[in-house]
Amino acid sequence: MCGFGTYIFCCCFGAVLLASSSSARTLSVSLGQSVTLLCEGAANGPIELRFKQQQHDQWQRVVALHDGGVSPGPGFEERVKFVRTENLLIYNITLGPVVFTDGGVYQCKALHTDRIFSDVRLEVLDPFQVFVELGQSVSLPCHGNINKQIRSDELHFRWQKDMQDVYKHQNSKTTYGPGFENRVSVSLDRAPQGDLSLTIKEARLSDQGKYRCFYNTEKENGQPLSVHLNVTGLGVLVLNGVVGKSVAFPDAVKKSGTLIHKGDEQQTIGDVTGGRFTDFREGRVQWNSTTGLFSISGLKMEDSGMYTLLNNDTEPSKEYQYQLNVDVIPPPDSPLSGRAVAGIVLFVAAIIIIIMIIAMRKTRDAKANEEKDANSPSQNIMFPNDPSVPKPRPVPETEPFVLDTKSDVPDALTSIQSW
């Protein structure tokens, strides 16, 4: 039997694991992700990747590679791809997106003999989803069956993110993973009660990923088996697309990276490993080896959602977040948003209404004044320069008339009485 060989496991963030052993090693993959196996040591003859489902004894074919081409087994159609490397004894066999019933043992063997080249046990996880806003605090749940009588100096547990240590407590000593110093904690008071929940302060975009906890010298898995942390908020680039058209993601990946879609469920839709591209969306995802850009063609409404691009060209890896909105009609070319346009329309309408109210009030006041003038008594107004108006006769200059009250009044009264 040949040596175990070397395997590459591509998790949701494209992490690569190399293993060499004489027995099957257990690897974990999240539901909807992909796994790539290297079948090393295979001869030039036909080979077969077979599978024995967890808790079942019957072997079934995943895919057979022979002179006639590729023959996928039932249930694996459209989900298995392979590439023969420059080393003719090595095959890249990629399975994805992984479904829950893919958990079990996989063997790469000669097609017509019992010669085994390599085997691996695959564990499919359905991650518990947790969401947090950028910069906020969050608690990732984990519980374990810890001995209630355990002493504090005997506590031993560990948290990992994407197979890298985040928090480790052993022999009363706590250590932290890079970037998590002074930001993560586990209550040592609640740990003996089985509560190993991890608190993360000031969440960063780089905190996003799959977390797992272990206890009792890492022999036991905590519950849930894994927690997927989603960090939302700032730093998200919005992309707009139209049904049937294409959209490109503006950040380049030169040799190694993964594009992940977070729609109804999280799925790896495109992966680049060592400059080799694998598409997991029916040929609609492309990667341009010249520009390094991922793109999606033939957009559908269900393509809308959050996307994460993990660029593994650098160490540490870089993450980019996108919100893709797919619509039936293209968005307007105007730089103004829909809310801004609606605001302008409402403002103009309000101005028009105010002007109409002012005009109506002026018209009403004018009519009221006309009615008031029509009902008031007429007055003769004399204009000195108007020839149609008779001028008063001048009063002759005579002696002023003086009433003699002593003589005139009695005579007048006498005249009136006699009359």
Q: What is the DSSP string of 70-121?
A: EEEPTT-TTTEEEEE-SSTTEEEEEE-S--GGG-EEEEEEESSS--EEEEEE
Q: Does the residue 261 lie in any domain?
A: yes
Contact 207, 184 (CB under 8 A): no
Average pLDDT over residues 167-196: 92
Query: What are residue 269's phi and psi, to 5 degrees?
Result: -110, -15
For residues 221-246, average pLDDT: 84
Domain membership of residue 407 (yes or no) is no
User: Quick one: which H or E segment has residue 159?
Assistant: strand 156-161
Residue 376 falls inside a structural domain: no
pLDDT of residue 284: 94
pLDDT value of residue 19: 36
- Domain-located, residue 317: yes
Phi, psi angle pair for 250, to nearest 5°:
-75, -5
Q: Peptide bond preceding 97: is omega within 30 degrees of 0, i.e. cis?
A: yes
Burial 347-377 (b: 16+ CB within 10 A, else e): eeeeeeeeeeeeeeeeeeeeeeeeeeeeeee
Of 286, 125, 152, 275, the C-alpha closest to 211 is: 125
- Whether residue 29 sits in one domain with residue 118: yes
| pLDDT at site 211 | 94
Query: In this structure, what are the phi and psi dihedrals at residue 26, rounded to the nearest 5 degrees?
Result: -85, 125
- 296-352: per-residue pLDDT in tens? 999 998 888 889 999 999 887 888 888 888 887 655 544 444 555 667 878 888 899
Tokens of 33: 């992700």
- Shared-domain flag, residues 267 and 216: no
Q: Is residue 80 domain-resident?
A: yes
Query: What total number of domains does the chain contain?
Result: 3
Statement to judge: residues 112 and 81 lie in one domain: yes
| The predicted structure's pLDDT at residue 206 | 82
- Examine the fold and report which residue of 216, 232, 248 is the final residue of a domain before the chain moves on: 232
Residue at which a domain ends, from 125, 153, 188: 125
Within a domain: 105: yes
User: Is 97 in the same domain as 133?
Assistant: no
Considering the domain boundaries, does residue 228 fall inside one? yes
Alpha carbons within 13 angstroms on the beta-carbon side of residue 187 total 14
Tell me how far the alpha carbon of residue 58 is from its chain's centroid: 42
Residues 114-152 have pLDDT tens digits of 888 888 888 887 778 888 887 889 999 999 888 877 887
Q: Are residues 120 and 175 in the same domain?
A: no
Structural domain harbouring 78 = 25-125
Which of 205, 224, 196, 212 has its CA nearest to residue 136?
Answer: 205
Q: Are 321 and 267 in a shared domain?
A: yes
- What's the mean per-residue pLDDT of the chain? 78
Q: What is the domain-level CATH number for residue 247?
A: 2.60.40.10
Q: Are residues 168 and 210 in the same domain?
A: yes
Asked if residue 255 and residue 221 are part of one domain, the reply reads no
Instruction: Tell me how far apart the alpha carbons of residues 183 and 140 are, in angstroms, rounded to a whole number.
Output: 13
- Domain assignment present for 384: no
Pair 156, 98 in one domain: no
Backbone torsions φ then ψ of 406, nearest 5 degrees: -80, -35
* Whole-number Å distance between alpha carbons of 297 and 244: 7
**Cβ(39)–Cβ(5) below 8 Å:** yes
Give the end of a domain, one of 176, 197, 232.
Answer: 232
Statement to judge: residues 84 and 169 lie in one domain: no
